[in-house]
Amino acid sequence: MSYESLDIIHDEHRALAAMLSGLGTLVAGIEAGRLQPDFNLMASMIDYIEKVPEKVHHPKEDAFLFAKLRLRSKEALPIIEHLEEEHRQGDERIAALRTALETYRQNGIAGLAGFQAALKTYTAHEWQHMNMEERMIFPLAKAHLSAEDWAEIDAAFLANDNPWQGAAGEYAALFSRIVNIAPAPVGLGG
């Protein structure tokens, strides 16, 4: 049986993990004195985190995978409800990260620790969230969803405004811009 939608979710998780890791690497480089803060770059990375996972990825999970699994598995219900609540909190969590970055921008080095703490909190939450989806939801979905369910879910994921192609390709452009201006080892920039 094909699980193309789970492959898409996993790939989007990896892209988010790479962006969060890159942002963490930049902040560590700033703290160590190897890099100067590039607030526009860091803001662009947060834009990516907001636009792709929070505005495209999570709504797809809720509307398609979670909706079908909710109908097929009582065991999955508390996990789905927990994950959906975390999705609803996404805007608030991104706002906290943006506020911490703006405080850092305004206060200089005195704001770095606050931004580091906010980033660490956000990153830890996202790792826990992605692991819960992949280690708990994926197996339950594979066990309880029918071939017809998978066909509908996969079709929806494949047709649902792929953020990397077509008119919505601005996400690919944003990712490329970040990679091209971020210094090594995060990106290709100087």
What pLDDT digit, counting tens, does each position of 100-116 carry?
999 999 999 999 999 99
Q: What is the pTM of this model?
A: 0.85
List, in order, residues 6 or more apart from 7 with CB less than 8 Å away: none
Q: Can you list the domains of the chain with their CATH numbers? A: 4-181 (1.20.120.520)
Q: Which letter, b or e, does each residue of 77-94 get, where b requires 16 or more Cβ atoms within 10 Å of its Cβ?
A: eebbeebeebbeebeebb
The residues with which 183 forms a beta bridge, in sequence order, are 189
Average pLDDT over residues 147-173: 71
Neighbours of 177 (CB within 10 A): 16
Tokens of 79: 């996990």
Q: Where does the pLDDT of residue 66 fall: very low under 50, low under 70, confident under 90, or very high at 90 and above?
A: very high
pLDDT given for residue 107 in this prediction? 97
Block residue for tokens 């065991």: 75
pLDDT, average across residues 3-11: 91
Choose among 72, 65, 51, 69: nearest CA to 10: 65
- Judged by phi (left if over 0) then psi (alpha if -120 to 50, else beta), residue 160 lies in beta
